[in-house]
């Protein structure tokens, strides 16, 4: 079966958001009298949702749920300071039908919608699934399956595209092909993928039927 449905992770796949995530993390750390951490460290902490990001960015004995809420408040204030789509992403999105594309992210749904709207990306997607849209997050397959249902798409015709092993696990468990994006913030964790893209510009080459 030809692939005609594309599910995307958000941070590290569609958009480069590490600078704004690092800003919010370091504002939170400053409020707790902690020294700032560099962007590359924050980059390694991304991929498993906001709670895990904050837990990783704070000493284990310091984390409280109130710190997560404060981080989300600070991040929302800086959501679009520097975050932009990766070069080449719009080329691929422009070649696809919105009814055949979805965002499946572990970022909270409200922040996801504000980010996509602020970057004029919302209209590209027929389904948008946030980290709190389902009872589980990636790597559980439920968010991927939910997106497929909303698109009325068959898993054998779909591919999960992301920069983290959580994307690969979720896609595989839902019966999809997977594409690992090496340009992002995450890592594949040794999980094999059907395709491997080294640049957003590779997506049109890997899926040429979309642009034909």
Mind telling me the catalytic residues? 9
Q: How far is CA 40 from CA 36, 37, 141, 147, 150, in A?
A: 12, 8, 28, 31, 35
Tokens of 205: 């080459």
How many other C-beta atoms can be found within 10 angstroms of the C-beta atom of residue 37?
16
Do strands 127-129 and 158-162 pair parallel, antiparallel, or not at all (unpaired)? unpaired
Task: Name residues whose C-beta falls within 8 Å of residue 73's C-beta, 6 or more positions apart in sequence.
Answer: none
Tokens of 60: 């284990």
Do strands 177-181 and 195-197 pair parallel, antiparallel, or not at all (unpaired)? parallel
Length, in residues, of the chain: 212
CA distance 32 to 27: 9
CA distance 58 to 196: 33
CA distance 192 to 180: 9
């Amino acid at each position: 079966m030809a692939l005609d449905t594309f599910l995307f992770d958000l941070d590290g796949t569609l958009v480069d958001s590490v600078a704004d995530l690092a800003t919010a993390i370091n504002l939170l750390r400053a409020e707790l009298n902690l020294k700032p951490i560099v962007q590359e460290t924050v980059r390694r902490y991304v991929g498993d949702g906001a709670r895990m990001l904050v837990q990783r960015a704070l000493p284990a004995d310091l984390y409280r749920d109130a710190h997560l809420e404060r981080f989300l408040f600070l991040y929302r204030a800086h959501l679009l300071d520097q975050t932009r789509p990766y070069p080449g992403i719009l080329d691929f999105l422009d070649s696809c039908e919105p009814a055949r594309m979805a965002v499946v992210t572990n970022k909270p749904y409200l922040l996801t919608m504000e980010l996509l709207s602020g970057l004029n990306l919302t209209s590209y997607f027929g389904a948008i699934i946030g980290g709190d849209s389902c009872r589980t997050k990636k790597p559980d397959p439920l968010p991927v399956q939910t997106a497929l249902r909303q698109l009325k798409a068959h898993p054998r015709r779909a591919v999960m595209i992301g920069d983290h092993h959580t994307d690969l696990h979720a896609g595989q468990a839902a019966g999809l092909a997977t594409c690992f994006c090496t340009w992002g913030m995450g890592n594949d964790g040794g999980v094999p993928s059907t395709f491997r893209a080294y640049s957003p510009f590779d997506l049109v080459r890997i899926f040429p039927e979309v642009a034909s």
